[in-house]
Amino acid sequence: MKFQKLRPETWDAYAKAHEDFDGLWIFQHVPKTAGSSITVALSSHAAPYTNIAADRQAATPFRKQYRELSATTPLERDGRPMRSVSGHLWKADVDVLLGRDPDARLFTFVRDPVRRVISDYRYSRTPAHAQWQEQIKAYPDLDSYIEDSPAMKNKTVFFLTGERDGDAAEVIPWIMARFDYIGLLEEMEMSHTILTRLLRLGAAQAEHRRSTEALPQNAETPTPAQLARIRKMNDLDLALFNRVATIHRKLREADKPGIAA
């Protein structure tokens, strides 16, 4: 049962359909949307688990590496089928994995797009980012990042669909019908509880494992005008976020046992 069908009245059937599934779960991790918290739970409680990651220092372009790794990463370990796999995967990478295992199920997380953009901007200016010095040179301040960075506009929808533009009335339903679950960073505890039920993660705990280091070069505070520009340029991401948030809000209001703290 896909995420588009999740409502308070369908929760029991939805949860049952997924918790009886013993196959592969694919976590399509959009950067800066709680991935480190989720991958810790997968590695501990949804094993065998593997994370697909490219080497940014390698000669092969990193997006080509992702495509190749999606096609070649073993989907079994020690004779056991892989239970979960994650990565900063684009739609085409996920399509490759689904081509190898058509029965695999798919989940992701979304976040308020304005907060995601600011978080991405700040992270890109720290040594944790493989090309942080190049990022600072290319985008010396938040204004330049907003205007010129490809990471700025509808990044979540781009990862999930391969497109940055489109009609929300078509794009959002397509995403909702593709994914089996979409979590919400702003409802992390509830989302983690739902995911724990669906994947049978047992005692896995929701915890934020990584935060962006505060440094002078990423201390810029966005102005109201900058925030408004970010919001305007992320119309599809905002539409998706609002749809996912509405589903979680309705589940919370219905006070379904065991999923709303």
Ramachandran quadrant class, 112 (left: phi over 0; alpha: psi -120 to 50; beta: rest): beta
Domain boundaries, the chain: 3-112+156-210+239-254
Beta strand 25-28 pairing with 105-110 = parallel
Tell me which residues of the chain have a pLDDT lower than 70. 129-130, 203-219, 257, 260-261
Contact status, residue 74 vs residue 110, Cβ threshold 8 Å: no
Arch. (CATH architecture) of 3-112+156-210+239-254: 3-Layer(aba) Sandwich (3.40)
CA–CA gap between residue 15 and residue 11 (Å, rounded): 6
CA–CA gap between residue 99 and residue 133 (Å, rounded): 38
Contact status, residue 250 vs residue 7, Cβ threshold 8 Å: yes
pLDDT at residue 5, rounded to an integer: 97
pLDDT at residue 148, rounded to an integer: 83
CA–CA gap between residue 52 and residue 85 (Å, rounded): 7
Contact status, residue 240 vs residue 156, Cβ threshold 8 Å: yes
CA–CA gap between residue 95 and residue 89 (Å, rounded): 10
pLDDT at residue 120, rounded to an integer: 86
